[in-house]
Amino acid sequence: MEFRITHKAAGGRARTGEIRTPHGMFETPVFMPVGTQGSVKAVSPEDLTDAGVRVILANTYHLYLRPGHPVIGRLGGLHRFMNWSGPILTDSGGFQVYSLTSLRTLTDHGVTFQSHIDGSRHFIGPEEAIDIQETLGADIIMAFDECAPYPSEYAYVQRSVSLTTSWARRCLERKKRDDQALFGIVQGGMYADLREISAQELVEMGFDGYALGGLSVGEDRATRERVIRETIGFLPTEKPVYLMGVGTPEDILEAVALGVDMFDCVMPTRNARNGTLFTTAGRMTIKNARYAEDNRPVDEGCHCYTCANYSRAYLRHLFMAREILSYRLNTIHNLAYYARLMADIRTAIREDRLTEYRATFYELQEKGLG
């Protein structure tokens, strides 16, 4: 992987860049849709490309359980398996294992856990996480980490940082493939000193990029932005910074201003299936009766397939009738909105007008839908 900064904003940390991988290049800041099980829910790879998506995320934990990484490996790797020719990032499974608190046993070696599918018992440690991701064949893979719940006592988070550092070193030692980039994940909860320790220990190991983990786990926005601000200064400017699991358009915009390059979240796809659509004037709840005879597109400034062909009235009808097509059309629009948001942010950074762009963004959101 090659990361090249193409522009640095005047008077701030925001920047644009390019990341080149064996499966193509994408520009940063970038949002990665979540394809948990090798599929971004409700849409095809062709839909993703048409919506402006250039890189996606897939989940190690879920693909390990079903259909199994050996199966995907024998069938030519994840790109061929899911017919996606662009870059893929796989997470390590650490966050999913974290979410199984009642079904797991944590030791220095790794995590023993019960499958949420059939209750079978499994073990994943740093070595196993790397082996799985190398078999899947993603372009960017993540170190196995221990994500502390929120809130957590200082002593627990301190041990979490120690484990994450130890596991990160073991991931580096295990990694064999030269065609995959490996990112380390900074932990430390909401404690500034532990974040500093985690970041510095990972930087000393020399990863290809660095992720900010353990955020978007229940903390308020001000706390999250404080942690980002306090941590990002300890990371090398020449490496990409990835904020995991975030988030809303507002969260992304503020994090970009703090120097973050990469994002992922289920928000655009999950909200689409729940009937919430993102627009330049805020969120639209498509089931509202006010749209029953509204012949306008979701967002009159959007040129996605959904907005080019279907009205608010029709989308409301599909959602109320629980038609499967509703999920696809809503998801296409939301992903196109996020892709356009990132493209607009990149343009604003390149033109040194991010401050003005932010002001206009919030002004439109406050004005609301007509």
The CATH number that applies at residue 192 is 3.20.20.105
Exposure of 190 in the CB half-sphere (CA atoms within 13 A): 16
Q: What is the amino acid identity at position 334?
A: N
Retrieve residue 327's tokens: 């999920």
Q: Which of 124, 216, 130, 113 is nearest to 168 (CA)?
A: 130
Same domain, 21 and 131: yes
For the chain, 370 residues long, the average pLDDT of each consecutive 10-residue run is 97 96 98 97 98 98 97 98 98 81 87 92 96 98 94 96 98 98 98 98 98 95 98 98 96 98 98 98 97 97 97 98 98 98 98 97 91
| The pLDDT value given to residue 66 | 97
Give the Cα separation of 249 and 256 in Å (integer): 11
CA distance 31 to 337: 11
The first and second tokens of residue 322, run together, are: 């629980």
Task: Find the radius of gyration of the CA atoms of the chain.
Answer: 20
One domain, residues 359 and 210: no
Task: Tell whether 238 and 352 lie within a shared domain.
Answer: no
Domain boundary among 210, 230, 265: 265
pLDDT of residue 250: 97
Question: Measuring CA to CA, which residue among 290, 198, 240 is closest to residue 3?
Answer: 240
Are 222 and 342 in a shared domain?
Answer: no
Report how many domains make up the chain.
2
Describe the crossing of helices 324-350 and 249-257 by its angle, rounded to 10 degrees.
20
pLDDT score of 100: 72
Residue with tokens 């973050």: 260
Please pick, among 139, 145, 261, 264, the residue that the annotation labels catalytic.
264
Q: What is the pLDDT of residue 242?
A: 98
Range of the domain at 82: 2-265
Taken as a whole, the chain contains a residue count of 370
Distance CA 291, CA 311 (A): 9
Give the residue from 55, 138, 79 showing the smallest Cα distance to 335.
55
3-state secondary structure of 62: helix
Domain co-membership, 115 together with 10: yes
Count CB-CB contacts under 10 A for residue 172. 17
Domain's final residue, options 240, 265, 290:
265
pLDDT value of residue 370: 67
Whole-model pTM: value is 0.97
Question: Of the residues 248, 265, 282, which one is the last residue of a structural domain?
Answer: 265
DSSP state of 298: S
Label residue 295 exposed, middle or buried (CB < 10 Å: 0-12, 13-18, 19+): exposed
The owner of tokens 């596991």 is 167
Is 179 in the active site? no
Residues 69 and 167 both lie in one domain:
yes
118 is catalytic: no
Residue 278 and residue 237 in one domain: no
242, 277: one domain? no
Same domain, 253 and 212: yes
For the residues of 161-201, what is the DSSP string, one character each? Answer: HHHHHHHHHHHHHH---TTSEEEEEE--TT-HHHHHHHHHH
334 and 203, same domain (yes or no): no
* Domain co-membership, 241 together with 289: no
**Options 91, 139, 251, 299, the catalytic residue:** 91
Regarding whether 347 and 223 lie in a shared domain, the answer is no
